[in-house]
């Protein structure tokens, strides 16, 4: 980038200038890059992540625009009645026919922290109530004996696990599997402190695998109840 840019003093004009620099760099590297994207998008991956500015899916997986179809919300919650999310999921599975759905949460997630501490922040309390419900459901893995940071980390992970299960149980994924469409769900957790993604072992390609993968993922917590 050639434009001076101070993230503490952001002007929209600078964003537009940076956009021009970026587009020029992309064309310099690959003259047909944008021409190819105009005709169609063929992403293999559908990413369900947190809105957090530190977790941009394409950048942290070192991919390019056109590679990942994305839905993000506060704390990567998958709710069975969220029509915005369900519409994106249906488009990804039925129209784009993605092969992989990645639910990726992240450690130090503010939304998870608010739910964990039962803080009141406003309207979003109603959204984050889903995570409080998850907390209650898996309380035995989040005991008071754990150090505070370990409980926080664990709830970030369990929130991903619950969201991944909810994706599997959606009518859209159920119908896709029923008609024999290849579709695999994954559960990941990203470390904002080190830039690394952890695979939480929730790789699920059929109904038969759901309960086994859930048990295996949760068993890890029983074996190491006082980690960190």
Instruction: Indicate if 156 belongs to the active site.
Output: no
CA atoms lying within 13 Å on the CB side of residue 223:
6
Instruction: Indicate if 133 belongs to the active site.
Output: no
Using CB under 5 A as the criterion, what x/- string covers residues 100-119 for binding Zn ion? ---------x-x--------
Instruction: Indicate if 208 belongs to the active site.
Output: no
The angle that helices 148-169 and 171-178 make with each other, rounded to 10 degrees, is: 50
Instruction: Indicate if 50 belongs to the active site.
Output: yes
Q: Select the span of 43-51, 152-160, 189-197, 217-225 touching Zn ion (CB under 5 A).
A: 43-51
List Cα–Cα distances, 202 to 122, 136, 157, 194, 205, in angstroms: 32, 21, 11, 22, 10
**From the candidates 11, 36, 54, 129, which is the catalytic residue?**
54
Instruction: Indicate if 106 belongs to the active site.
Output: yes
Which C-beta is closer to Zn ion: that of 53 or that of 226?
53
CA atoms lying within 13 Å on the CB side of residue 167:
35
Per CB under 5 A, 165 contacts Zn ion: no
Phi, psi for residue 68 in degrees, rounded to 5: -130, 130
CA-to-CA distance for 227 and 164, rounded, in angstroms?
24
Per CB under 5 A, 155 contacts Zn ion: no
Per CB under 5 A, 52 contacts Zn ion: yes
- Known catalytic residues are 50, 52, 54, 106, 109
Instruction: List residues near Zn ion by CB under 5 A.
Output: 50, 52, 109, 111
């Amino acid at each position: 980038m050639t434009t001076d840019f101070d993230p503490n003093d952001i002007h929209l004009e600078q964003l537009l200038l940076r956009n021009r620099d970026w587009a020029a760099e992309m064309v310099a590297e690959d003259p047909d890059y944008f021409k190819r994207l105009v005709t169609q998008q063929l992403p293999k991956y559908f990413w369900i992540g947190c809105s957090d500015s530190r977790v941009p899916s394409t950048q942290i997986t070192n991919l390019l625009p056109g590679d990942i179809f994305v839905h993000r919300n506060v704390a990567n919650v998958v709710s069975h009645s969220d029509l915005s999310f369900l519409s994106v999921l249906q488009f990804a599975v039925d129209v784009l026919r993605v092969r992989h759905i990645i639910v990726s949460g992240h450690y130090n997630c503010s939304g998870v922290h608010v739910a964990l501490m039962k803080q009141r922040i406003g309207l979003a309390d109603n959204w984050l109530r889903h995570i409080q419900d998850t907390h209650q459901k898996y309380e035995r893995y989040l005991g008071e004996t754990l150090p505070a940071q370990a409980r926080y980390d664990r709830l970030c992970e369990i929130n991903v696990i619950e969201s991944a299960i909810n994706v599997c149980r959606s009518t859209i994924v159920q119908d896709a599997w029923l008609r024999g469409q290849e579709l695999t769900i994954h559960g990941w957790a990203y470390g904002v402190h080190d830039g690394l993604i952890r695979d939480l072992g929730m790789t699920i390609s059929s109904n038969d695998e759901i309960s086994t993968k859930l048990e295996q993922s949760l068993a890890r917590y029983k074996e190491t109840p006082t980690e960190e």
